[in-house]
Amino acid sequence: MGESNRSVDEDLLLKEFFAEVSEVERDNEVVRILSCFKLNAFEFLKLPFDSSPEDVKKQYRKLSLMVHPDKCKHPQAKEAFGVLAKAQQQLLDQQERDYILSQVTAAKEELRAKRKKQLKKDTASKLKSLVDEGKSEKEYEQSEEFQQELKLKVRELLTEQEWRRRKMAMRISEEEGRLKKDEEEQKEMWKRKREHEEQWEGTREKRVSSWRDFMKSGKKSKKGELRPPKLKTEDPNKSYVQRPVKRG
């Protein structure tokens, strides 16, 4: 019952809030959403990296009402509304959320290493100032300065990962294209081979018949073949007669 009352109260607060929101503020929110870094869903919803799924739902509800096409007259309100919906979906998907948070962890490690290196170079002033101000590393990481650096570093890492993903996808696509081309060429080769075999088989009777005709005509030509005249050695009066040669 208490949970239900809280939900009703939140609804009333939201309605009062949006009743006071001007058209300019709605337009500005549309512009902000569409100019966000595309690979980080947390930025679209203006949420810190440690936000819970419940925080995601509440923030989405608030921002989506602000840029809803029925409430906002901006020509790109519908596009901004769709972007917010996709961002919420990503952050409520455990795999998508874990991927972004893994890049956040990597970014933090890089920034910590960088800070450690800087402090080694200027130990006297940096460490003294931290002790004097009572700032621990944990407190520093909660500062606005660190959060801004973290945001930019996460952008950098997400961009690198996306570039690698696209290059890999391009290579896979090229390999698939090559394999498809090889397959098509193989199919075309077998097609031509089958056509040749079918054509050869189709002319078989004709070839056999031609061979039979050739054999028949060949035998006839032998029967009527003209032979050279025999030389008569017994007629010594003809000059063309070749006389036998006497040997030894």
Give the span between the Cα atoms of 104 and 48, in whole angstroms: 11
Residue 136: its pLDDT value, please? 67
Would you give the distance in Å from CA 197 to the centre of its chain? Answer: 42
Kindly tell me the burial class for residue 5, based on how many C-beta atoms sit within 10 Å of its own C-beta (0-12, 13-18, 19 or more).
Answer: exposed
Per the prediction, the chain carries an average pLDDT of 80
Q: Which domains, from first to last, does the chain contain?
A: 11-142 (1.10.287.110)
What is the DSSP track for 139-176? HHHTSHHHHHHHHHHHHHHHHHHHHHHHHHHHHHHHHH
Phi-psi region of 230 (alpha: psi -120 to 50; beta: other; left: phi over 0): beta
Instruction: Tell whether the torsion through CA atoms of 214, 217, 223 and 229 is positive or negative.
Output: negative
Pick 53 or 217 by higher pLDDT. Answer: 53
- The model's pLDDT over 45-89, given as tens digits with 9 standing for 90+, comes to 999 999 999 999 999 999 999 999 998 999 999 999 999 999 999
Cβ(127)–Cβ(178) below 8 Å: no
Cβ(87)–Cβ(44) below 8 Å: yes
Kindly tell me the burial class for residue 59, based on how many C-beta atoms sit within 10 Å of its own C-beta (0-12, 13-18, 19 or more).
Answer: buried
| Length of the chain as a residue count | 248
pTM: 0.60
Assess whether pLDDT exceeds 50 at residue 216: yes
Kindly tell me the burial class for residue 61, based on how many C-beta atoms sit within 10 Å of its own C-beta (0-12, 13-18, 19 or more).
Answer: middle
SS3 content of the chain, % helix, strand, coil (to 5): 75, 0, 25
